[in-house]
Amino acid sequence: MNKSTTLFDDALSLLPGGVNSPVRAFRAVGGSPVFMESAAGSKLRDVDGNEYIDYIGSWGPFILGHSHPRVVAALHAQLDKATSFGAPTELENLLAAKIIDMVPGIEMVRMVNSGTEATLSAIRLARAFTRREKILKFEGCYHGHGDSFLIKAGSGVATLGLPDSPGVTSSTAEDTLTARFNDIDSVEEMVKAFPDRIACIILEPVVGNMGCVPPDEGFLEALRALCTREGILLLFDEVMTGFRVAPGGAQQRYNVTPDLTTLGKIIGGGLPVGAYGGRRDIMEMIAPAGPVYQAGTLSGNPLAMTAGLETLRLLSGDDGLYPLLERQAARLADGIRGNLDELGLPYVSNRVGSMLTLFFTDKPVHSWDEAKTCDTELYARYFTEMLKRGIYLAPAQFEAAFLSIMHDDDDIDRTIEANRESLRAIVK
């Protein structure tokens, strides 16, 4: 028995399901999870000494790769000063200014500790600003584990096949409306059914939590026009896409500016962090400037601010990084498509920048209805074969893969070859 298996057996008696986040348990792909010990660049090393090319990147934050020297050096310098103050620091100002400079829709920002906290806070703010109670989300989109967001959610909820989570009250469910991603008519129907009652429409502008699903041409623009017309706030959840698909996130890539934006992952450089921001007139309703209360003991933690600031400085200071990511991701996607075409397997390959997903289905994936037609058993076999060959993918069909600037040509070539061997193994 290897050390990972032993550790998981121990964890089962200590943690619910043996993990601190459900998808890590490998329930969707079988077997037991791999316990990691170290990471550098594009590689992970587990407790048994096995090395993997990593396409999770801690679920998105490590766009610079693991343990980037400048980020690590900055963290060491901050550790020598303090780990937390519970008081303001210049670092908070510097990171806030950097975010405001890079993200088109943000004029003011509030730091929090997770993406879930950011989306919960932004929803409360939207309700207060509009004096409306209902929100509209999209089937298959995941915005954290807040009660309102577990209605027809994606990510681990979809992976585990869970219905709307127990503990979510009926009144919360009644105030959460759902529509189909990339279907503006389904949104219009809800707006007509609940006139002047919807506070905000929240969405991942590029969905990453039912796998990577880009917006159809004109969809985001149609949402923007509808929200402006109806007095509804448009909220982009860019926890995943922020600084990932473009320096200014999906709103820059698609040239559609929301009223509110939530962020996480990359803005902490791998440390726990979240943020929400938007128009100044909306954000000034947050306490102590306004009446909407939200607070956090570790909000603006100096370690998270340090790692995030150094990460954003690196991303904004080198014009070649995003073209590199685009080029490497395209080469990987093209190689995988070539292998699949050669074997005649049905598939869909979706990609936006350095986010991508291989879906085992013969239907174009534009929404949750199509994503859930995927052959999840085939994906589980594929995942296992790739893991055997040193490629670490998300242990679930309904997740995105992420590249970093440290994924070099050798990594891409090795991954394409592992993909070819894995596909041949599962079609025998």
Asked whether the beta carbons of 310 and 70 are under 8 A apart, the reply is yes
Residue with tokens 């920048």: 353
Asked whether the beta carbons of 217 and 65 are under 8 A apart, the reply is no
* 247: number of Cβ within 10 Å: 18
64-98 residues labelled b (16+ CB within 10 A) or e (exposed): bbbebeebbebbeebeeeeeeeeeebebbebbbeb
User: What is the total residue count of the chain?
Assistant: 428
Angle at which helices 302-317 and 90-102 cross, to 10°: 40
The pair of three-digit structure tokens given for residue 42, joined into one six-digit string = 């594009």
Q: How far apart are alpha carbons 211 and 313 in whole angstroms?
A: 29
Residue with tokens 């050096």: 73
* 185: number of Cβ within 10 Å: 9
- Quick one: which of 386, 146, 425, 112 has its CA closest to 276? 112
Indicate which residues carry an active-site annotation: 142, 237, 265
Amino acid found at 78: Q
Residue 14 CA: distances (Å) to CA of 24, 31, 33, 49, 309: 15, 19, 15, 24, 35
Label residue 258 exposed, middle or buried (CB < 10 Å: 0-12, 13-18, 19+).
buried
Which conformational region is residue 182 in: left (phi greater than 0), alpha (psi within -120 to 50 degrees), or beta? Answer: left
Q: How far apart are alpha carbons 262 and 236 in whole angstroms?
A: 7
Helix (H) or strand (E) holding 307: helix 302-317
